Chains A and B, each alone.
Chain A
Amino acid sequence: MSQFLDMFLIGISAASIYSLMAISMVLVWRSTRVVNFAQAGMALLSAYIGYELVSRTGNFWIALPLAMILGAAFSAFIEFFLMRTLLKNSSQGPIAAIAPIIATLGLLGVIHAVLGFIWGHGDVQLEAPLSKVGYTVGDTTLFIAPMGLFVIGFVIALLFVVTILFQKTNIGLALRASAYAPEIAQLSGVRVSGIRTLGWAIAGAAGAAAGILQTVNGTGAINPDSLEFSLLLVFGFIAAVIGGLESLPGAVLGALILGLVLAFVQIYISGTLVFIVAFLLLLALLILRPQGFLGSKVGRRA
């Protein structure tokens, strides 16, 4: 029984990390129909920015929002200068489907090289602002610590804020309209291109938070060659797809499913199988329920 509780808490903690990345992928997808494969690279860059800010300001709680703002600015910059030109130049033919994917991969490579130039290939460390020692109930220590709890709370808050923004505000309406029907939105007076940049900016802020929180909640070390961030990209994407790639609650649900399934596999079956299980989960879902758990019916083949 206690092992089952462990599994549950471990799964949720991992899910909170996956869902941060999944949320930012969904945000980018919703605003521009692009899966940003550079998301993990941008998150890693933000983690380095966070590291610099923490060492300058000495305060994590100032550094985190600052890094999120910078992440948003960088993301908007990429949308404005890279993705817009891209959409203009290659909107037709087979290249249209893959140009954004390739461009974001290129961006990933550039970020990686630049990180190597500036910070070198060794580790730098970002200390956790909160304790990572689990809460104790009776004589057992639970697999949930103040730091992990903060990450979970952050994900819920982020989900809440972004949902409000999308559902209740005019900006949100414009965001949704320009994603689903850009021409009609344009005709109704929505400045579609500006709104798209905004979508990327929000995703950039979420991605920056993902990079920093994943780092402090994990080993605390960052490195341009970080394996953690490569895996974060893949697992975040899988989570987003499970949820339907359209829906923010879906992304969180997807992360939860992925986190719990992998924790189950790890504890009750074999740690050797995690990668294969993650891949099979993705494949099975895409074949059985292509629109994801909370996705709309049509999106998948668009």
Chain B
Amino acid sequence: MLKKHPLITFIIFGFILFLISNRLDELIVYHGATVGIYVIAIASLILLTGYSGQVSLGHGALLAIGGYAAVLARIHYNAPVWLTFVVAVLATAVGGALLGMAAARLSGPYLAGTTLALAIGLPSIANQFSVFGGEQGLSFDIGFPPASLGEDFTQYKWYFWISWSAALIAMYWLRYVLHSRYGRSWRAVRSNDVAAELAGIHVGRNKVLAFTISAGLAGLAGALLGMTISLVSPGVFPLLLSFSLATGAVLAGVTTLGGVMIGAVILVAIPEIALAIANRYGGSETIITNLPGLLVSGLLILTVLLVPNGPVEQMHARRAKHAKSGKASHSPVELTVRVGSKTWSTKK
């Protein structure tokens, strides 16, 4: 279905989400909006790492660029909400292109360390110039949801709709890019950059392009994050956010976008799960404060050790192995469903 009619799949998925959002309680809708943002941010990181082999530990800094660009456009030019997101994407993409040019010369740990230093250095820039509002930041107010949606339409549902619309559009577009010429050349560079170079692919330019697109997505996520919490400030994009995103990307599996939901949901769900466990065992303060970190980090290590390419890729790999071994257990089967006198069959 996804392969044949991606657009229809995305639209149906979106429709189901919006239907569900009408029925969930507000807290879950709020968490759902956050999941949507993480989907974009993690996809951005997966694109960078999984498809072009570059690492970023300072993705929070890129989110920050997007957040600030959006809020400045809103405050100083009174831009409509959708335009602030466009501004965020463009501004961060430009920033990403510049960074990407530097980054293309670096690899692995060097890039990781540089982006790490960026994540620490950027907030002090925000503190330096008063236009960024210092430590207390700038309020990001997109106003109330349109009155036509009804009086019971909550602000968080509005955020949920916006962030998921953005996420679905971004993912659809990203899917398109990855299936294009660029996507193929990224994969070529990733698997063997020397061979790719010989095949006429400009490795450096490809990396910069990947960095630019990744940054654009990160900027979008940053603007959405600023929107849901109504504020853009250095504290909104701490080093912890960068680490969380890297965690989410690994949990999702860096080689494929298929697991991006898994990563995003886990990031949001773990603190909840930890809290539930902690409450079950007496709710001691030590457990409540330390358990979420322990769970996330432990899960991270286990993932890297046991399913380094992520759960989705692992499933694919296992399936491929099965198929190869001759047992056609996963090859398409013909299916007949009979209910009462009616019969549906997948037979031609």
Contacts and interface: CB of A to CB of B under 8 A. Distances in A.
**A and B physically associate:** yes
Interface of A: 29, 34-35, 37, 82, 85-86, 89-90, 93-95, 97-99, 101-103, 105-110, 112-114, 116-117, 120-121, 230-231, 234, 237-238, 241, 245, 272-273, 275-276, 278-280, 282-283, 286-287, 290, 300-302
Nearest to A224: B290
Given A89-B305, A99-B304, A278-B117, 16 more contacts: A95-B254, A95-B255, A95-B309, A103-B300, A105-B57, A106-B297, A107-B297, A109-B300, A114-B294, A116-B289, A117-B286, A273-B124, A273-B128, A279-B120, A290-B106, A302-B107
Contact of A97 (B55, B250, B291): B55
A300 B113 CA distance: 13
Contact of A276 (B121, B246, B308): B121
Nearest to B118: A279
Given A230-B239, A282-B117, A286-B106, A107 B301 contact: yes
Q: Which 3 A-B pairs have the closest CB atoms?
A: A109-B297, A90-B308, A279-B121
Interface residues of B, number: 51
A105 B107 contact: no
A240 to B, nearest CB: 8
B173 interface: no
A289 B51 CA distance: 27
B305 A110 contact: no
Contacts of B183: none
Secondary structure type dominating chain B contacts? helix
B112 A35 contact: yes
Nearest to B301: A106
Interface of B: 49-51, 53, 55, 57, 102, 105-110, 112-114, 116-118, 120-121, 123-125, 127-128, 190-191, 239, 243, 246-247, 250, 254-255, 286, 289-291, 293-294, 296-298, 300-301, 304-306, 308-309
B230 to A, nearest CB: 26
B110 A110 contact: no
Contacts of A34: 109
Contacts of B298: 106, 110
A133 B55 CA distance: 44
A230 B239 CA distance: 10
A121 to B, nearest CB: 7
Nearest to A88: B305
Given A85-B305, A98-B55, A234-B120, A113 B297 contact: yes
B102 A286 contact: yes
Given A85-B305, A97-B55, A283 B109 contact: no
Given A105-B243, A106-B300, A272-B128, A98 B49 contact: yes
B308 A89 contact: yes
B306 A103 contact: no
Contacts of A282: 113-114, 117
A120 B293 CA distance: 14
A286 B297 contact: no
A14 to B, nearest CB: 17
Interface centre among B50, B106, B125, B293 (most CB of A within 10 A): B293
Contacts of A93: 190-191, 255, 309
B57 A112 contact: no
